[in-house]
């Protein structure tokens, strides 16, 4: 709060030109009142009191503190000498002016409206997740907007603190009343000491607080025990829906991170409230982790069995060749002899040429090596690992209470049968009653090998379960990631109420008939526009009259002037250490004040900003805290850095600081040269994770023989990064694209998103189009691009043979109402976009609704392709934006240099926090570079360089040669850079 105290009701530096126009401009009414005053000093004094009240929210008690530019601005309007303000001294006159302003302009005292403000603030404190700092700002804004005169800082801050405390007490009381008396005892028992420490736990709650580290047998077994403890609490019966989930999450996160001793010292009501929030939120997270671990564990077994069979197949290929060659010779001989001989002595003729033993040996070898096409993949290998499958079946039956949609009914029926039978073996006769629930390949194998029935049924059941979880055919209500996304859509009654508003916002037709006409006309126009540009376009060619081959864009090389321009930029930019850069950006933007404590209380720590910047640098550079810690300086002591990292560095605080950088960067004039903020790109940067983690996966292309994760991030056309999310391994980017785009928290509102070729699918085109966004992936295809049409009779000339694929308009019409409900649910944030996409796609076997959205997407995919192949400017625009993302990734790698650029976090939260810290530091560098580039361009203009918009637009803030990332880390502010001043440029001649 110290920064707020310094700026509360007082001037901090000179108001900007924009602020002068907004708050210090005198209107006609003001001038009428002022004209009745006799003395020039009185007129100027009254005007400045009124302007100060509008700007600060309170009267200025000391005229000497009013900035000179404000006095000059007001005096100029009155045509009075600014020095007249020194004659405005009489106390009675000032008091009279205060009363006059209150009476005429309707300003009210804060103390007279305490009840009204208390009710308003209490509602916000109870029903929103706004921090104390945010509530401070919101109340301050309300007072300014509603002409309520601010009291002193102490009165104002104490008023907010009392309301926050009241809201907290009310929340604790509500939560503490939810569990039964029996459950309250269970909750308090979680704070008891563990007899024998388990996995480093000191109290029983620590066992629940420890996430799974990987998907080993040991961890999965621990996960099941942890899940069973969570399930002793019937959270599904808790009456908790009236309490905002955001509030519950904040308390749950606090309970997750807080030390056991701290929770034990709290009042019983607060203890129970925190534990209720923790159990309610983390029970679902525990379920997500457990299912993810099971999916990864069993998928690994299936993959290894498949690979082992493939290797064995390669090893025995020569034996198969010899045996097959022998049998082919015999068959050929039989065919020849049977045509030449009318008697039945063929057998004796064969045996003269081939021994009976060699014939039967070849037959046996072929039967052994040749796989029947109906046989399941690597089934023999899977049977050798049967114990691993059987081990977890009892726990699956106890803990995973799942339901199914129509596609998952067979799987559910199969598991219901196993639940009634297990642990007794399943006989072949029993198998015949559940044969319809199993995949055909498994049925075939069991029929051929009835003695393996029990093992095969159980392995097949787990395979079906894993696949069904991934397709969302099977779901668990007490889960975040594996629930039924279709249940999360707006219910039909709510949808009918909101439909009109959603259709208006998204500009969509209300009926299937309307959308058919609209799509037909829209696609036809795109074809005509593409044909108009086709003769002059070099973006594609048609081969064999049936294949559309997209050309690669030619690289644009820099000329001598551009190279010299970039070299001069590098020469002029000040050389700077990363520590100094972060300190300077913090001086400019006060980023560290946005990092509040986990319990949202004010800290008494001195130099907390230094500690925060040191932690951010250590995390972003991936070097740990030892290189930045100094035991001789309190703010940089190792233990303090650990404490600050644990209690202040969170995704929400990192996001708040990042939003401030984005806001400041957007206001810089130079950013308008690079873009208007309405375009963005998304791409992933890969990180190897040497330590075992539940969230890392293998991919030889990116991680070699190791494992890793992807940080999928979004970059504005102004180079700034505005969102990022951790993705396991290198899963298909398009699955996470829409979720990241919809959930990004920044003030930027891009409406066009670019991705690389791997980042799109027809369904993603459809979902983006429904929500009013333009999806523009790069097309890199030298094997033929597919175009779609609606009108079978339309003549598209050169493109006729390429557009024979017909879009199923009937399917779109049939499901249009449901398609609109999906769009409305996504727009309102009711459903997770990634999980909904997975449920609709069903791992390559889409639902009927999914097929309808895919058909809709084909329209917009074709529109995009038609423009891409006929408009080089459009194609190059996409490439340039993707290059911005690649360049930003290169800067991230330069910053993240420690430990060979490998990510050593084990848990998802740790990965998310460290990579978001990297994103914040990267954005700080981009902001600093942009700020100084403006100054550099001014200097280069004086030096006679071509500083046209075209030249400046080609320059990038993603440069780092002038920044030192390594070495000794010293954190000390430079006082000469206060009040927004900048460093001098490096004007040395080269």
Q: Cα(717)–Cα(678) distance, rounded to whole angstroms?
A: 7
Q: Cα(220)–Cα(463) distance, rounded to whole angstroms?
A: 17
Q: Cα(859)–Cα(127) distance, rounded to whole angstroms?
A: 42
User: Looking at residue 370, what is its pLDDT?
Assistant: 60
Q: Cα(134)–Cα(747) distance, rounded to whole angstroms?
A: 16
Is pLDDT of 817 > 80? Answer: yes
Q: Cα(671)–Cα(682) distance, rounded to whole angstroms?
A: 19
Identify the three-state secondary structure at position 893: helix
pLDDT in tens, 356-401: 777 777 777 666 656 554 455 578 889 999 999 999 999 999 999 9
Of 546, 545, 408, the C-alpha closest to 474 is 408
8 A C-beta contact, residue 720 and residue 746: no
Give the burial class of 886: count Cβ atoms within 10 A of its Cβ; 0-12 exposed, 13-18 middle, 19 or more buried.
middle
Query: Beta partners for 721?
Result: 715
Q: How confident is the model at residue 255 (pLDDT cuts 50, 70, 90)?
A: very high
User: Looking at residue 308, what is its pLDDT?
Assistant: 76
8 A C-beta contact, residue 254 and residue 598: yes
Of 904, 731, 691, the C-alpha closest to 296 is 731
For 949, other C-beta atoms within 10 Å of its C-beta total 9
Residue pointed to by tokens 């493109």: 799
Is pLDDT of 283 > 60? Answer: yes
Is pLDDT of 599 > 80? Answer: no
The answer to whether the bond into 423 is cis (omega within 30° of 0) is yes
User: Looking at residue 782, what is its pLDDT?
Assistant: 55
For 675, other C-beta atoms within 10 Å of its C-beta total 20
Q: Cα(286)–Cα(279) distance, rounded to whole angstroms?
A: 10
8 A C-beta contact, residue 785 and residue 861: no
**DSSP-derived secondary structure for 545-607:** TTEEEEPPPPPPPP-HHHHHHHHHHHHHSPPEEHHHHHHHHHHHH-GGGG---TT-PPP--TT
> How many C-alpha atoms does 735 have within 13 Å on its Cβ side?
19
Q: Which residues fall within 8 angstroms of residue 891, CB to CB, at 6 or more apart?
A: 922, 925, 926, 958, 960
Is pLDDT of 330 > 80? Answer: no
Q: Cα(767)–Cα(737) distance, rounded to whole angstroms?
A: 11
Mean pLDDT, to the nearest integer, of 693-715? 88
pLDDT in tens, 452-468: 999 999 999 999 999 99
Q: Cα(439)–Cα(499) distance, rounded to whole angstroms?
A: 41
8 A C-beta contact, residue 924 and residue 585: yes
Q: Cα(719)–Cα(665) distance, rounded to whole angstroms?
A: 10
**Percentages of the chain per state (helix, strand, coil), in multiples of 5:** 65, 5, 30
Q: How confident is the model at residue 988 (pLDDT cuts 50, 70, 90)?
A: confident
Is pLDDT of 210 > 70? Answer: yes
User: Looking at residue 541, what is its pLDDT?
Assistant: 84
Is pLDDT of 311 > 90? Answer: no
Identify the three-state secondary structure at position 212: coil
Q: Cα(37)–Cα(46) distance, rounded to whole angstroms?
A: 9
8 A C-beta contact, residue 755 and residue 830: no
Q: Cα(350)–Cα(941) distance, rounded to whole angstroms?
A: 96
Mean pLDDT, to the nearest integer, of 644-664? 94
Please state whether beta strands 679-688 and 707-716 pair in parallel, antiparallel, or not at all (unpaired). Answer: antiparallel
8 A C-beta contact, residue 442 and residue 460: yes
Q: Cα(294)–Cα(528) distance, rounded to whole angstroms?
A: 52
Q: Cα(953)–Cα(955) distance, rounded to whole angstroms?
A: 6
Is pLDDT of 335 > 60? Answer: no
Mean pLDDT, to the nearest integer, of 251-269? 89
Q: Cα(255)–Cα(206) distance, rounded to whole angstroms?
A: 10
Q: Cα(628)–Cα(914) distance, rounded to whole angstroms?
A: 16
Please state whether beta strands 788-789 and 805-806 pair in parallel, antiparallel, or not at all (unpaired). Answer: parallel
User: Looking at residue 760, what is its pLDDT?
Assistant: 74
CA 59 to chain centre: 45
Average pLDDT, the chain: 88
Q: Cα(921)–Cα(925) distance, rounded to whole angstroms?
A: 6
Q: Cα(712)–Cα(589) distance, rounded to whole angstroms?
A: 27
User: Looking at residue 341, what is its pLDDT?
Assistant: 61
Q: Cα(158)–Cα(137) distance, rounded to whole angstroms?
A: 14
pLDDT in tens, 240-250: 888 888 889 98
User: Looking at residue 602, what is its pLDDT?
Assistant: 67
Q: Cα(56)–Cα(74) distance, rounded to whole angstroms?
A: 16
- Please state which of the ranges 4-18, 142-156, 313-327, 408-422 shows the lowest mean pLDDT: 313-327
Q: Cα(199)–Cα(207) distance, rounded to whole angstroms?
A: 7
User: Looking at residue 62, what is its pLDDT?
Assistant: 84
pLDDT in tens, 497-514: 888 988 888 899 999 999
Three-class HEC string of 914-960: HHHHHHHHHHHHHHHHHHHHHHHHHHHHHCCCCCCHHHHHCCCCCCC
Is pLDDT of 959 > 90? Answer: yes
Q: DSSP state, 647?
A: H
Tokens at residue 355, please? 């021994």
Containing H/E element for 712?
strand 707-716
**Is the CA virtual torsion 342, 347, 351, 353 positive or negative?**
positive
Q: Whats the size of the chain, residue-wise?
A: 990
For 287, other C-beta atoms within 10 Å of its C-beta total 25
Q: How confident is the model at residue 538 (pLDDT cuts 50, 70, 90)?
A: confident
Is pLDDT of 343 > 60? Answer: no
Mean pLDDT, to the nearest integer, of 92-113? 91
Q: Cα(881)–Cα(876) distance, rounded to whole angstroms?
A: 9
8 A C-beta contact, residue 482 and residue 469: yes
């Amino acid at each position: 709060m110290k920064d707020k105290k310094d700026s509360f009701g007082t001037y901090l530096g000179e108001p900007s030109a924009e602020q002068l126009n907004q708050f210090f401009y005198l209107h006609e009414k003001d001038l009428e009142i002022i004209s009745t005053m006799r003395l020039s000093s009185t007129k100027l004094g009254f005007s400045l009191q009124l302007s100060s009240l509008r700007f600060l929210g309170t009267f200025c008690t000391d005229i000497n503190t009013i900035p000179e530019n404000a006095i000059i601005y007001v005096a100029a309007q009155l045509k009075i000498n600014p020095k007249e303000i020194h004659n405005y001294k009489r106390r009675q006159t000032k008091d009279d002016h205060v009363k006059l302003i209150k009476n005429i302009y309707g300003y009210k005292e804060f103390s007279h409206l305490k009840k009204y403000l208390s009710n308003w603030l209490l509602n916000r404190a109870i029903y929103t997740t706004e921090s104390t700092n945010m509530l401070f700002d919101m109340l301050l804004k309300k007072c300014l907007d509603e002409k309520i005169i601010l009291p002193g800082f102490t009165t104002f801050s104490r008023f907010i603190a009392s309301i926050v405390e009241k809201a907290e007490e009310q929340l604790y009381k509500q939560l503490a009343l939810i569990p039964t008396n029996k459950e309250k005892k269970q909750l308090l028992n979680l704070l008891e000491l563990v007899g024998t420490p388990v996995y480093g736990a000191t109290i029983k709650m620590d066992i629940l607080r420890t996430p799974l580290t990987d998907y080993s047998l040991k961890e999965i077994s621990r996960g099941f025990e942890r899940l069973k403890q969570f399930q002793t609490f019937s959270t599904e019966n808790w009456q908790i829906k009236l309490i905002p989930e955001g509030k519950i999450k904040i308390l749950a996160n606090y309970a997750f991170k807080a030390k056991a001793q701290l929770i034990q010292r709290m009042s019983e009501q607060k203890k129970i409230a925190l534990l209720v929030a923790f159990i309610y939120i983390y029970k679902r997270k525990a379920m997500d982790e457990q299912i993810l671990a099971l999916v990864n564990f069993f998928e690994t077994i299936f993959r290894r069995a498949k690979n082992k069979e493939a290797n064995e197949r390669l090893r025995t290929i020569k034996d198969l060749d010899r045996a097959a060659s022998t049998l082919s010779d015999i068959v050929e001989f039989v065919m020849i002899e049977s045509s030449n001989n009318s008697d039945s002595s063929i057998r004796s003729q064969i045996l003269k040429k081939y021994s009976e033993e060699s014939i039967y040996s070849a037959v046996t070898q072929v039967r052994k090596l040749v796989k029947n096409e109906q046989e399941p993949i690597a089934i023999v290998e899977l049977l050798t690992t049967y114990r691993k499958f059987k081990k977890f079946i009892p726990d699956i039956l106890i803990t995973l209470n799942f339901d199914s949609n129509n596609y998952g009914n067979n799987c559910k029926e199969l598991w219901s049968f196993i639940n009634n039978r297990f642990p007794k073996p399943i006989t072949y006769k029993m198998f015949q009653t559940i044969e319809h629930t199993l995949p055909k390949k498994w049925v075939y194998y069991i029929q051929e090998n009835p003695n393996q029935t029990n093992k095969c049924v159980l392995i097949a059941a787990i395979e079906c379960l894993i696949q069904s979880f991934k397709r969302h055919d099977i779901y668990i209500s007490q889960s975040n990631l594996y629930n039924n996304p279709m249940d999360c859509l707006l219910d039909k009654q709510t949808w009918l109420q909101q439909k009109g508003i959603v259709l208006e916002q998204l500009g969509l037709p209300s009926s299937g008939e309307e959308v058919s006409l609209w799509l037909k006309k829209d696609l036809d126009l795109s074809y005509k526009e593409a044909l108009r540009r086709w003769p002059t376009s070099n973006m594609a060619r048609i081969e064999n009259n049936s294949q559309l081959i997209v050309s690669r864009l030619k690289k644009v090389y820099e000329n001598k002037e551009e190279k010299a321009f970039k070299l001069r930029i590098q020469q002029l930019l000040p050389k700077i250490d990363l520590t100094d850069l972060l300190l300077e950006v913090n001086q400019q933007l006060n980023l560290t004040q946005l990092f509040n404590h986990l319990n949202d209380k004010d800290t008494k720590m001195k130099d907390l900003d230094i500690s925060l910047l040191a932690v951010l640098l250590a995390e972003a550079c991936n070097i740990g805290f030892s290189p930045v810690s100094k035991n001789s300086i309190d703010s940089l002591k190792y233990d303090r850095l650990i404490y600050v990292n644990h209690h202040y560095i969170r995704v929400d605080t990192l996001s708040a600081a990042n939003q401030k950088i984005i806001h400041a960067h957007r206001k810089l004039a130079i950013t308008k040269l690079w873009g208007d903020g309405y375009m963005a790109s998304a791409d992933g940067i890969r990180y190897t994770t040497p330590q075992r983690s539940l969230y890392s996966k293998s991919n030889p292309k990116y991680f070699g023989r190791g494992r890793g994760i992807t940080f999928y991030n979004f970059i504005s056309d102004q180079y700034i990064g505005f969102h990022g999310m951790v993705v396991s391994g290198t899963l298909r980017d398009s699955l996470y694209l829409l979720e990241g785009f919809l959930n990004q928290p920044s003030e930027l509102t891009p409406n066009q998103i670019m991705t690389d070729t791997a980042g799109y699918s027809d369904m993603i085109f459809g979902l983006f189009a429904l929500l009013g966004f333009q999806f523009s992936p790069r097309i890199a295809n030298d094997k033929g691009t597919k175009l779609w049409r609606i009108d079978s009779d339309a003549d598209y000339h050169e493109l006729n043979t390429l557009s024979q694929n017909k879009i199923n308009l009937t399917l779109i019409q049939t499901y249009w109402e449901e398609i609109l409900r999906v769009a409305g649910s996504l727009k309102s944030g009711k459903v997770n976009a990634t999980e909904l996409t997975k449920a609709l796609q069903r791992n390559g076997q889409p639902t009927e609704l999914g097929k309808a959205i895919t058909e809709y997407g084909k329209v917009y995919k074709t529109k995009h392709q038609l423009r891409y192949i006929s408009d080089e400017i459009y194609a190059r625009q996409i490439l340039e934006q993707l290059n911005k993302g690649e360049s930003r990734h290169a800067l991230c790698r330069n910053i993240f240099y420690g430990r060979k650029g490998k990510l050593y976090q084990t848990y998802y939260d740790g990965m998310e926090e460290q990579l978001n810290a990297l994103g914040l530091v990267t954005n700080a560098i981009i902001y600093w570079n942009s700020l100084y580039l403006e100054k550099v361009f001014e200097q280069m203009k004086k030096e006679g360089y071509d500083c046209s918009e075209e030249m400046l637009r080609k320059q990038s803030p993603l440069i780092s040669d002038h920044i030192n990332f390594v070495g000794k880390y010293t954190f000390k502010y430079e006082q000469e850079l206060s009040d927004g001043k900048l460093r001098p440029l490096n004007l040395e001649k080269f």
